[in-house]
């Protein structure tokens, strides 16, 4: 197996062409995900987490969304250069997605069995459906879907939210993807079900070796589930590193504020700390640091010049933060 990262996103810029102007929703973002690794992406609402994830498989808002620059190297190929037809072969097979709301991921008019079997057939559409029944039951069982044989005939509305999300997980894992993008997959679930679901994902990931990009507001989930972490603000990654390094030595003032509400890495469930003020509208051109208007440490240079990534406070090679005042504490 090569040492190259599975996914190597370089200087990705994604824009939306709106009546009010061109809005960079992903602004020069670079990160990697290794094979079998879990990367957490955190940041407040509107910071560009979903747009970053959706850019990878190019499911952007129709007509207005486009990749304006950068590379998306996945297993050695640049997905940003792929045609729609080529991307269709990657989506759901090599890269699967689990979305926040299982209602939107499952089709209400087809049975669960139908939808799992369709996912299994992506690998070889010539396979007759009947031959995949056993396999479908197995993937549902792996996701701990109780009474899997009977569930094959059920429609989505006949299942609980937690059970539906397990089916979505089963569909995501059914084609043995190399990468799973999970965009807030547990937000719609209650806390005890969340934990069970996350443990399931982790177990299956260990067995299959799939890498996961986990998008969440929940730093407790990041601490428990992720190896590395990228913190987004205003369409940019402002800090990244191993979860251990970033939690122990948060370096960007925004990350410091986020982590204030998390007393220790063992905390199970915590929501993001509320920071005074609002992020600037993404349509506004900002020459400097996007956090400057809310940052107590900001000086003139922050407002006029964009900070490049620099080594974070942990001193670890992989830990970086983009701030002009890295030596100072909030
Ligand atoms: N279809 C759209 N039309 C216009 N603006 C959009 C559209 N989709 C997203 N945006 C804008 O793009 C920016 C990034 O959105 P994105 O969905 O990536 O945020 P996010 O970090 O995933 O937020 P959340 O935590 O709420 O899911 C936001 O400012 C959002 O308002
Ligand atoms: Mg989102």
Q: Is the pLDDT of residue 300 over 90?
A: yes
Q: Is the pLDDT of residue 243 over 90?
A: yes
pLDDT confidence bin for 222, thresholds 50/70/90: very high
Ligand 1 pocket residue status of 234, Cβ below 6 Å: no
∠ CA(8), CA(55), CA(319), 5° rounding? 40
Q: Which of 23, 51, 58 to mutate to test the pocket of ligand 1 (most atoms within 8 A of CB)?
A: 51
Q: Is the pLDDT of residue 76 over 70?
A: yes
- Residue 271 is predicted with a pLDDT of 45
Q: Whose CA is nearest to atom 1 of ligand 1?
A: 61
Instruction: Count the helix, strand and coil residues of the chain and give each as a percent rounded to the nearest 5.
Output: 35, 20, 45
Of the candidate ranges 60-64, 74-78, 123-127, 317-321, the one whose mean pLDDT is the lowest: 123-127
Q: Whose CA is nearest to atom 26 of ligand 1?
A: 45
Helix (H, G, I), strand (E, B) or coil at 270: coil
Q: What are phi and psi of 190, to 5 degrees?
A: -80, 165
**Who has greater pLDDT, 53 or 259?**
53
Q: How much is the mean pLDDT over the chain?
A: 90
Q: Which atom of ligand 1 is nearest to the CA of 215?
A: 22
pLDDT per position as a tens digit, 255-283: 998 888 654 445 444 444 567 777 777 77
Q: Give mean pLDDT, residues 23-39.
A: 96
Q: Give mean pLDDT, residues 76-82.
A: 96
- Residue 261 is predicted with a pLDDT of 62
Element (H, E) at 137: helix 133-142
**Who has greater pLDDT, 1 or 137?**
137
Q: Is the pLDDT of residue 126 over 60?
A: yes
Q: Is the pLDDT of residue 287 over 60?
A: yes
Q: Whose CA is nearest to atom 18 of ligand 1?
A: 48
Distance CA 264, CA 259 (A): 9
- Residue 196 is predicted with a pLDDT of 85
Q: Which fold has domain 7-94+177-281?
A: Rossmann fold (3.40.50)
How many A from CA of 102 to the centre of ligand 2? 14
Domain ranges of the chain: 7-94+177-281
Element (H, E) at 203: helix 191-208
The most confident of 48-62, 115-129, 280-294, by mean pLDDT: 48-62
Q: What are phi and psi of 18, to 5 degrees?
A: -105, 165
pLDDT confidence bin for 122, thresholds 50/70/90: confident
How many A from CA of 16 to the centre of ligand 1? 10
- Residue 45 is predicted with a pLDDT of 87
- Residue 270 is predicted with a pLDDT of 45
What is the chain's alpha carbon radius of gyration, rounded to the nearest angstrom? 20
- Residue 100 is predicted with a pLDDT of 80
| Rounded percentage of the chain residues whose pLDDT exceeds 70 | 95
The DSSP-derived string for 249-267 is: S--SHHHHHHHTT---TT-
Q: Give mean pLDDT, residues 152-173.
A: 91
157: DSSP letter: G
Q: Give mean pLDDT, residues 218-246.
A: 94
């Amino acid at each position: 197996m090569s040492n190259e990262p599975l996914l190597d996103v370089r200087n990705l810029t994604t824009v939306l062409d709106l009546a009010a102007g061109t809005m960079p929703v992903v602004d020069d973002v670079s990160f990697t995900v290794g094979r079998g690794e879990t990367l957490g992406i955190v940041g407040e609402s509107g910071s560009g987490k979903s747009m970053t994830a959706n850019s990878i498989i190019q499911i952007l808002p129709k007509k207005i969304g486009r990749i304006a620059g950068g590379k998306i190297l996945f297993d050695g190929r640049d997905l940003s250069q792929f045609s729609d037809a080529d991307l269709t072969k990657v989506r759901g097979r090599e890269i699967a997605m689990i979305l926040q709301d299982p209602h939107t991921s499952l089709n209400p008019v087809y049975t669960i069995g139908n939808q799992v079997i369709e996912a299994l057939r992506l690998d070889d559409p010539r396979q007759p459906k009947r031959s995949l029944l056993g396999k479908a039951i197995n993937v549902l069982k792996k996701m701990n879907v109780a009474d899997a044989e009977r569930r094959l005939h059920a429609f989505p509305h006949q299942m609980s939210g937690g059970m539906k999300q397990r089916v979505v997980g089963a569909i995501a894992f059914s084609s043995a993807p190399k990468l799973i993008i999970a965009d807030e997959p547990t937000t719609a679930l209650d806390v005890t079900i969340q934990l069970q679901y996350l443990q399931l994902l982790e177990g299956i990931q260990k067995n299959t070796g799939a890498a996961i990009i986990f998008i969440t507001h929940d730093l407790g989930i990041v601490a428990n589930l992720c190896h590395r972490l990228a913190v987004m603000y205003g369409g940019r990654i402002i800090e990244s590193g191993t979860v251990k390094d970033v939690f122990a030595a948060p370096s960007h003032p925004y990350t410091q504020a986020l982590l204030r509400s998390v007393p220790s890495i063992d905390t199970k469930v915590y929501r993001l700390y509320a920071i005074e003020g609002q992020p600037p509208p993404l349509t506004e051109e900002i020459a400097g640091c996007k956090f400057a208007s809310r940052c107590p440490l900001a000086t003139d240079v922050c407002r006029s010049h964009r900070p490049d990534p620099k080594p974070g406070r942990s001193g670890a090679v992989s830990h970086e933060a983009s701030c002009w005042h890295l030596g100072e504490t909030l």
